[in-house]
Structure formats: structure tokens, C-alpha cells
Structure 1
Amino acid sequence: MMKSSATHYGSIAQFFHWCTAILVLVAFMYGPGGPEHRVYSPVHEFDRRLHETLGLSVCALTFVRLLWRTIYTRPEVPPASRLMVAMATAVQWMLYLLLLALPMTAVIGAWLEGHSVTLVAGWEIPPLFATSHDVGGAIASIHKWLGDAIMWLAGLHAFAALFHHVILKDEVLITMLPSWLTMGRARTGR
């Protein structure tokens, strides 16, 4: 089932969701963090390259995911209070915003500090505009804050999915799980 149905996200939407979640988590874990001299030290070269490669991958995947979302239908929202639906919608759109803002702040911050964006494959994307080290440092700080924010927000998103599944016992979590994970649920009548 590639396309979403009225009750379940399709396999492509699920792939986008879970792939994004994994890429963000791994990028967060491999982000060298800290002051500029630490981030760009030779000791952290591989970590930085991996972090930047994953970040650009997340950005590209997010654009494709948003395009897919405009083309294909989404499952119907299960019955819930207006407040719960509004909160879920706000969190989803904040996550999308962060998925785009994080790589953009990283690239702009690096370029303004005078650094190329480096990828695991050895490719480098040199700065496209003049250096402004102080502004670049400020944007790099914003990138770090946004990185923490996306992890907290993703944690809230995961907690909400588990809350729906365990406490409310509705199908919200099931709609985003691959069918092979939910087959046992259908056999047990849950």
C-alpha cells in the first residue's frame, strides 16, 4: 500500500516519517557541538562530515516529504478534542519548520564563519557569500538551540503517540506503523 488510505499512512509516507526520525537522531548524536575550534578540529572531521551530510539529507527529504503530503491524502483524524487536534497540528508543523531551519542555519552559519559545508563523500560546498564571523557564530548558536528543540519536540511527539496507543487505545500510532508490525494486532482483535 504505497498511498495512504482513510485509516492508514501508505508505505512511502511511513518511509519518509521513519527515515527522517532516524536521520535526525543520528545527526544529533554525531553533531560535534561546542565552540567553533572544537567543531572544526581534525579530531571531529568525520563526525562533522557525517552530521552535515545527514543534515542536508534531512532537508532534501523534508522537501520531498512536504511535496508528497500535498499530492496524496492522509488518514482521517480520529475523533479527538479540538484542543488535541490543534496541538497535534501545531507540533507537526513545528517539526517541519525545524527540519528545514536546522540545516539552513547550519549551512548559513558555517558559510558566514568562513567554512565550507563538507560531506562524507569528500565533497565540499564553499561559502557562497562574504564572511561575517560574528553573525555566523550567532547563527551557529541558533542551530544548536534548534537541534535541542527538535529533540524535545520529537520526544513530545513520540510520547503523544504512545499516550494515544496505551491510554486512549485509539489507532493514531497504528496509522504510521508498517502493516507487518500490526498484523498480530489484527489477529488478536485489538
Structure 2
Amino acid sequence: MVKSSGTRYGSIAQFFHWCTAIFVLVAFVYGPGGPEQRVYSSVHEFDRRLHETLGLCVLALAVMRLVWRTIDTRPETPAVSRWMVILATVVQWLLFALLLALPLTAISGAWLEGHPLTLVAGVDIPSPLATSHDAGATLASVHKWLGDTIMWLAGFHALAAIFHHVVLKDDVLTTMLPRWFPVGRTKSDR
């Protein structure tokens, strides 16, 4: 099932969701972090290249996912309290905003500091921006803060899905899991 139905997300939406989640987690783990001298030291070259490559992948996935949402249907919202629906909607849109803001602040920050964007394939994308080191350092700090924020928010998002599955016993979690996953069947699949 490529497109989503009234009971579950389709394979494309699931692909975007899970690839994005994995890429964000790995990018967070491999983000060199710390002061500029540490981030751009040769010791952290691979980590930085992997982090920046995954960041660009996250940006591309987020854009494709937003475009896909405009043409794809979504599963029906379970019968839950109105505040849960509002909170879920706010969290989802905050996650989308962070998926766009994180790579954009990183790219802008690096370029403003005078560093090229470095990718795993050995490709370096030089800055098209005039150097403004202070502005770049500020954006790098914002990027770090946003990175921590997305991890907390994604953790909350995952815990909410588990809460729905274990406590409320609805299909919120299973709608985003592939059919082959052991708990990936919705009530309508059974």
C-alpha cells in the first residue's frame, strides 16, 4: 500500500518517517559538538562529514515528506480527548519546523563562519555568503539548542505513541509501523 488509508499510513509516508527518525538520531550521535576548533579539527573530520551529510538528507526528506502530505491522505484520528489531538498536532508541526530549521541553521552557521559544507563523498560546498563569524557562531549555538530540542520532542513523540499502544490500546502506533512488524497490525488488519 503506497498511499495512506483511513486506518494506516502508506509505505511512502512510513519510509519518510522512519528514515528521518534514524537519520536524525545518527546525526545527533555523530555530531562533533563543542567549540568551533573541535568541530573543524581533523580528528572529527569523518564525524562532521557524516553529520553534515545526514543533515542534508534530513532536510531533503522533510521537504519531500511535506510535499507528500499535500497529496496523501492520513489515517483517521482515534477517539481521544480534544487536548490530545491539539497536542499531537502541535508536536508534529514543531517536529517539522525543527527538521527544516536544524539543517538550515547548521548550513548558514558554517558558511557564515567561513567553513564549507563537507559531505561524506569528499564533496565540499563552499560558502556563497560573506563571512560574519559572530553571526555564524550564534547560528551554531542555535543549531545545538535545536538539536537537543528535537531529541527531547522526538522522545516525547515516541513515548506518546507507546502510551497510546500500551495504555489506551488504540492504533496510533501501529498506523506508522509496517505490516510485517510484529505489532504492526491495526485492528482493521486483524
Question: TM-score scaled to structure 1, two decimals?
Answer: 0.96
Q: Give 1:129 shift.
A: 1.0
Output aligned runs, 1:29-178, within 5 Å: 29-178=29-178
Q: Deviations over 1:36-83 (max 9, x none)?
A: 000000000000000000000000011001000101101111111110
> Residue 178 of structure 1 aligns to a residue in which SS?
coil
Q: Deviations over 1:131-162 (max 9, x none)?
A: 00011001000000000000000000000000
CA contact (8 A) 2:179 2:185 kept: no
2:32 aligned partner, one-letter code: P
CA distance in 2 between partners of 1:16 and 1:66 (Å): 10
Q: What RMSD over aligned residues (CA atoms) do the two structures have, in Å?
A: 1.6
1:97 aligned partner, one-letter code: A
Q: Which runs of 4+ in 1 moved over 4 A?
A: 182-187
- Unpaired runs of 5+ in structure 2? none
1:131 aligned partner, one-letter code: T
Q: Give 1:20 shift.
A: 0.4
Matched residues, number: 189
- Unpaired runs of 5+ in structure 1? none
Q: Give 1:181 shift.
A: 1.4
CA distance in 1 between partners of 2:135 and 2:54 (Å): 24
1:170 aligned partner, one-letter code: D
Name the structure 1 match of 2:8.
8
CA contact (8 A) 2:177 2:184 kept: no
Q: Deviations over 1:3-34 (max 9, x none)?
A: 10000000110010000000000000000000
Name the structure 2 match of 1:28.
28
Name the % identity.
72
2:102 aligned partner, one-letter code: L
CA contact (8 A) 2:175 2:184 kept: no
2:172 aligned partner, one-letter code: V
